[in-house]
Structure 1
Amino acid sequence: MSTTNTQYLTVNGHQIPVKNLDKPFWPEDGYTKADVMAFYIKVWPYLAPHLKDRPLSLVRYPEGINGQYFYQKNFPAAPPWVETIPIRSKTRVTHYVMANNLETLIWSINLGCIEVHPWLSTQWHLDYPTYVIFDLDPMAPATFQEAVQVAFALKSLTDHLGLALFPKISGATGLHLYLPVKPVYSYQETATFVQRLGEAVIRVLPGLATNERMVSARGGKVYIDHLQNQKGKTIASVYSLRPFAGAPVSMPVTWEELPTIQPDSFNITNAAARLAATGDLFAPLLSLQQELPTELLS
């Protein structure tokens, strides 16, 4: 059967229409839409708990990583086996998809999705995130290694506060540090917490870190982005593919191995084996509910 015609994959008893499975999503590397589906099927047991009950922003690359891409959040006519949640803003109601089953993820990949972008909160506490994220983005000539230095400075602060912090490589040039919390803090409070700790690091390492919002003002430093903690903001999930050369994967790492890790250490070909060897290093995020110091929330 030609892959330019619609075919059907059966997942959990649901027939999912798919097409163009041989379409190159990474033309230079040769990875296709079918390869993306195969990857997510392999990592689904590890990924699923981190997506459960979280609204998603779908980033669609219908022509692969070199083509135009766009964000889509509203899916009022999704298939019946795709769970959605209506979220009201001041001007409209948006029907967000939640990947609570594998068939939903396969359906989204058929639409051209490469990355998985979940909310920081679940449908049960939409206004209260379950983790805080420190998004460290090195601005050239700053490097990944300098982002690692900033990450360890932040870890020193969270260690002092008695809080556990979990690193993952972004799959691009930076780092994401996750701090799981009780879902009782507002997005404003968690963003302020990241801002306060970022400011402390910047005072100690002024030549290395910055929180300047204007790219042109960052001076080749590592940007500590507290604004990623605003409601509705999303970041590439753990175990998500990224739309860059080599098909990198955003993977958790240990603090012990972080100094020797490279941004492209894990990709579509070796991430599943890594998971099989280490298990889910982000599993603590599913149960650990830490309390933040009130003096750093405003």
Structure 2
Amino acid sequence: MPADALTLTAAGPDGHPREVRLSSPDKVVWPATDHGPAITKADLAAYLDAVAVPMLRGLADRPVTLQRVRGGIEGEEFYSKNPPKGVPDFSRTTICTYPSGRSHPQLVVDDAATLLWTAQMGTVTWHPWPVRSGDNDHPDEVRIDLDPQPGRAFADVVEAARGLREVMTDAGLTPFVKTTGNRGVHVFAAVEPRLEFLEVRHAVIGLARELERRMPELVTTAWWKEERGSKIFVDYNQATRDRTLATAWSPRILPGAPVSVPLTWDRLGEVDPASLTVHTVPGLLAEHGDAWEGLHRDPGVVDAAYALWEADLERGLGELNFPPDHPKMPGEPPRVQPSKKVAEHWDEKGNRIEG
């Protein structure tokens, strides 16, 4: 007979054990596939218990957006920026300011007990901000998403990632890489939290454009999909306020429960991302350890990357498009698909001319 609920015990923020109630533990979150059996809510909790130590390195002391589901991954999907109702009294929140200027609290996942509670609330993917809770305006991580367009093999993404590694290293940063849980890779670097979001974004654009110059046939910074062709998009907008990436060791809301897994640069081209799932990753962690354990050991500075942005300004290259939910920014190109743009409807600054 299926269990109505389980009571789990995990360390709280003070290190003392806390109890977390897991209702409907037999509920299927990921249906069975050819690559593995179904994964229940209890299975997800067991996975989180196995990877909690390295996963919390990426989550703790950061505002976290929760990607949640009702009825498993085939049901309703939604994002929680406001903390879900019933936050345990041992958990905490931090105030975040969004691109609109509006502010409200977001949950901080500091400990294993809070992590399990978020799973109880239907969370399947955890998206931390690149800031610490004591200063939500100055990122301490540079994050770049290499997003392959249709037709690109993972080997091409690996080649682009290695090129990006060289660009970032030349700029004085120490890059770390992980799979996305899908077709691309994420490249991170720890930095001193001295610059605010817009400045860090410009530094990332500087890195992205330099990579594009070095690998023009492979990568692109084109925001509009119709301009990317089959190239790999260097997503500079992951450095924009309120844009987040799945944390290391987090499952993704995709069939088969793939996981975003840190790898050493040597192992990046040797591992099939499709093999990294909730079923297999605990064993991989036990065998190889956490490739990102030292991510924040020696943070760099973004000065040299920002200098690339400034050099491009002198070359006549300016601002790039922001995400559509972001306010229109000074110097931003028109927010209209190039194929639909009528020149006389826009001024030289990219503002629409109203008739």
2:135 match: 125
Q: What is the alpha-carbon distance in structure 1 between the residues aligned to residue 104 and residue 207 of structure 2?
A: 33
Which residue identity is paired with 1:8?
T
Partner residue, 2:342: none
**Percent identity of paired positions between Structure 1 and Structure 2:** 30
Task: Give the match's secondary structure for 2:263.
Answer: coil
- Structure 1 unpaired stretches of 5+: none
Which residue is 1:188 aligned to? 198
- Whole-Å Cα distance in 2 between the matches of residues 159 and 286 of structure 1? 15
Question: How many pairs align?
Answer: 297
Q: CA deviation at 1:277?
A: 2.2
Separation of aligned partners in 2, 1:75 and 1:251:
26
Do structure 1's residue 16 and structure 2's residue 20 form an aligned pair? yes
Structure 1 letter corresponding to 2:90: W
Matches within 5 A, 1:1-298: 2-3=2-3, 5-12=4-11, 13-28=17-32, 29-75=37-83, 77=85, 78-89=87-98, 92-292=102-302, 293=304, 294-296=306-308, 298=310
Per-residue CA distance 1:30-66 (angstroms, 9 max, x = gap) = 1111111100001111222221110100110121112
**How many Å separate the matches in 2 of 1:222 and 1:136?**
6
Change (3 A) 1:272 1:199: same
- Write the distance in 1 (CA, Å) between the matches of 2:19 and 2:158: 44
What secondary structure is seen at the aligned counterpart in 1 of 2:253? coil
The ranges of structure 1 where at least 4 consecutive aligned residues each deviate by more than 6 angstroms after the TM superposition are none
Partner SS state of residue 162, structure 2: helix
Q: TM-score, normalised by structure 1?
A: 0.93
Q: Which runs of 5+ in 2 are unaligned?
A: 12-16, 311-355
The one-letter amino acid of 1:15's match is E
After TM superposition, give the deviation of residue 297 of structure 1 in Å.
5.1
Decide which structure has the larger Cα Rg and report it: 2
TM-score (norm 2): 0.79
Taking the aligned partners of 2:197 and 2:103, their CA distance within structure 1 comes to 20
Distance 1:225 1:216 in 2: 15
Aligned-partner Cα distance in 1 for 2:172–2:9: 47
Alpha-carbon separation, structure 2, partners of 1:158 and 1:53 = 26
- CA shift digits 1:121-180 (9 cap, x unpaired): 111221111110110010101222111111111112223233211111111110001111
d(CA) in 2 for partners of 1:103 and 1:44?
Answer: 10
Matched residue SS, 1:132: strand
Aligned amino acid, residue 132 of structure 1: V
- Please tell me the residue identity of whatever aligns with 2:96: I
Whole-angstrom distance in 2 between the partners of 1:183 and 1:91: 21
Letter in 1 for 2:223: R
Is the 8 Å Cα contact of residues 189 and 297 (structure 1) preserved in structure 2? no
Moved more, 150-159 or 65-74: 150-159
Deviation at 1:76, TM superposition (A): 7.2
- Distance, in Å, in 2 between the alignment partners of 1:297 and 1:216 is 25
1:87-128 deviations in whole A, cap 9, x for unaligned? 345564422111111111111111111111111111122111
Per-residue deviation at 1:260? 2.2
What are the Cα deviations for residues 217-274 of structure 1, in whole angstroms up to 9, with x where unaligned? 2212101001001122110001111122221111111111222222213211221222
